């Protein structure tokens, strides 16, 4: 068994696709209609056959309440790996992305947290120590 799909809850799939591709730099992988909504996934260009991120409608009231509560306390819903958190922080900030936590070394990793404009906070992390 392996992890194939992860997801973020979004209020508007098209707007989410725009942010996750044009700003974050992911690539669209699957896009087909499922009822009112779409099965819409993106992948990292660094891992085109790797895990997909599903941009999943947050239409369920519980999803909205859950997102709101996490966001209020600044808790990231998902984490992505990057090679250099500081560089990514500067790149995304220049594109207008808002960070709720600036890059900071926390134990074995450097992390930062940004707002994905779809109601979620996302953590980016870089491993500073490699296990041999």
Partner 1 sequence: MTGNHKVAYTTLMDSVFKALADPTRRLILDVLSEEDNQTLFELRTRLIMEHHVDMSRQAITKHLAILERVGLVTTARSGRYKQLHFNRQPLSEIAQWLEKYRSS
Site for partner 1, rule CB under 8 A: 68, 71-76, 98, 100-102, 104, 106-107, 111, 113, 115, 119, 121
Least separation in angstroms between CB 46 and partner 1: 26
Tokens standing for 10? 């979004």
The residue among 27 and 104 lying less far from partner 1, judged by its C-beta, is 104
The residue among 28 and 98 lying less far from partner 1, judged by its C-beta, is 98
Rounded to 5 degrees, φ, ψ at 35 are 65, -135
b/e code 10-37 from CB counts within 10 Å (16+ = b): beebeebbebbeebbebeebeeeeeeee
Tokens standing for 38? 């779409």
Least separation in angstroms between CB 104 and partner 1: 8
The residue among 41 and 117 lying less far from partner 1, judged by its C-beta, is 117
């Amino acid at each position: 068994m392996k992890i194939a799909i992860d997801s973020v809850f979004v209020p508007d799939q098209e707007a989410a696709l725009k942010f996750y591709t044009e700003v974050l730099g992911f690539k669209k992988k699957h896009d087909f209609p499922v009822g009112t909504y779409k099965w819409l996934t993106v992948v990292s260009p660094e891992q085109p056959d790797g895990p997909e991120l599903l941009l999943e409608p947050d239409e369920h009231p519980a999803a909205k309440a859950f997102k709101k509560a996490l966001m209020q306390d600044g808790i990231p819903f998902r984490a992505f790996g990057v090679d250099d958190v500081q560089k990514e922080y500067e790149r995304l900030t220049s594109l207008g992305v808002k960070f709720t936590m600036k890059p900071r070394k926390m134990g074995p990793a450097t992390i930062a947290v940004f707002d994905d404009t779809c109601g979620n906070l996302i953590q980016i992390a870089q491993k500073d120590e490699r296990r041999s």
